[in-house]
Amino acid sequence: MEIDLVAENKQIVLKSYVNGSPVETDMELKLGNRVKLEAPKGSKGVLVKNLYLSCDPYMRGRMQDFHASYIPPFTPGSVIEGFGVSKVVDSDDPNFKKGEFVTGLTNWEEYTLILKTGQLRKIQQDDAIPLSYHVGLLGMPGITAYAGFYEVCAPKKGDYVYVSAASGAVGQLVGQLAKLHGCYVVGSAGTSHKVHLIKNKLGFDEAFNYKEELDLEAALARYFPQGIDIYFDNVGGSMLDAALANMRVHGRVAVCGMVSQNSRTDKQSFSHMFSVISKRITIKGFLQSDFTELYPRFLEDITGFYKQGKIVYIENMNDGLETAPAAFAALFSGKNVGKQVIRVASE
């Protein structure tokens, strides 16, 4: 007689649509769900145990009742979806075997039945690289930084590069890649602790706390008296406007994120858009999914840089699925440092 293996499956659900920045109480821990520890025959799916879950700013957009984006919104009352690192418990897909580690989109819960297995990537385990890095340095934020810097920014040795949110999951890598490329790099962040990390751990040439600056345009002019060749923008708003005022002729702006914009109804005005004409500035938005063909090269390059000690990566690890709502909300209050990860279970 066959015994069905069943386990409790704690989940994090979105209570209702959010307008503005998410707070911890917009999400809740749901208990009482149980899951069969098998991938149903004929499903072509894989059942995984989630080990690490990624908190990423783009997920805020999925919490809003907005259906015209590049990715659909979450459904209120349903479990939240995001990138994760997981271990295969059972598989009905011949490409995946029990015990393998995978990364891709999963749910904020202990176990997930993944039916869209084409988006999963197997992880080749390497003792020198933590598994959690596959949602950070070697995951979506990493390829975002890599493609954004090398492809969108088109850097040249000696370029003057400015990175906002420079201690975050993406910004910290952009700045280090720029330094390796022979650029002069300045980063900004919102606390003195982050500024210290940017300069002393990440190796940027300079860094400043934007909250201590009364005039962002003047602050950038102070750090870039020659002007800015490349602005890697993670925040939008008044910082983007200030950067436009300080760009050099043929400057490039890679628009990666707009964390300063609380909602799509926020009105923003720009005083320096004429600079785009007079200085022939290129402003380009992008998604990491535009550059999937770069992934093998990215993986090889970044793994090599990390193992050679040429780059470091800062993680902010929270233990336990129940910590996920507070950890995610911290992305928008400036409390987290580096790449925010939830450890659901140890491997």
Q: Are residues 145 and 127 in the same domain?
A: no
Residue 327 sits in a domain whose CATH number is 3.90.180.10
Same domain, yes or no: 175 and 129 = no
In 115-265, at which residue ranges do the beta strands (DSSP E only) sit? 121-122, 160-163, 184-189, 206-209, 228-233, 247-255
Residue 55 near residue 83, CB atoms below 8 Å: no
Domain limits for position 11: 6-136+314-343
pLDDT (0 to 100) of residue 1: 36
Domain membership flag for residue 258: yes
Q: Give yes or no for residue 3 having a pLDDT over 60.
A: no
Question: What CATH number did the domain enclosing 201 receive?
Answer: 3.40.50.720
Q: Are residues 125 and 147 in the same domain?
A: no
Q: What is the mean predicted confidence (pLDDT) over 14-28?
A: 92
Residues 62 and 175 in one domain: no
Residue 220 has pLDDT above 50, yes or no: yes
Ramachandran angles phi, psi of 147, nearest 5° = -70, -40
The identity of residue 43, as a single letter, is S
Q: 126 and 147: one domain?
A: no
Report the predicted TM-score, pTM, of the whole model to 2 decimal places.
Answer: 0.93
User: Do 92 and 39 reside in the same domain of the chain?
Assistant: yes
Helix (H, G, I), strand (E, B) or coil at 156: coil
Domain count, the chain: 2
Contacts (Cβ under 8 Å, ≥6 apart) of 248: 160, 226, 227, 228, 229, 279
Clarify whether residues 57 and 20 are in a common domain: yes
Tell whether the model's pLDDT for residue 47 goes beyond 80.
yes
Beta partners for residue 163, in sequence order: 187, 232
Same domain, 156 and 269: yes
Dist CA 310 CA 308 (whole Å): 5
Query: What pLDDT does 312 receive?
Result: 97
Residue 301 lies in a domain: no
Residue 305 lies in a domain: no
Side-chain half-sphere exposure of 112, counting CA atoms within 13 A: 29
* Res. 324 pLDDT band, cuts 50 70 90: very high
* 129 and 148 inside one domain: no
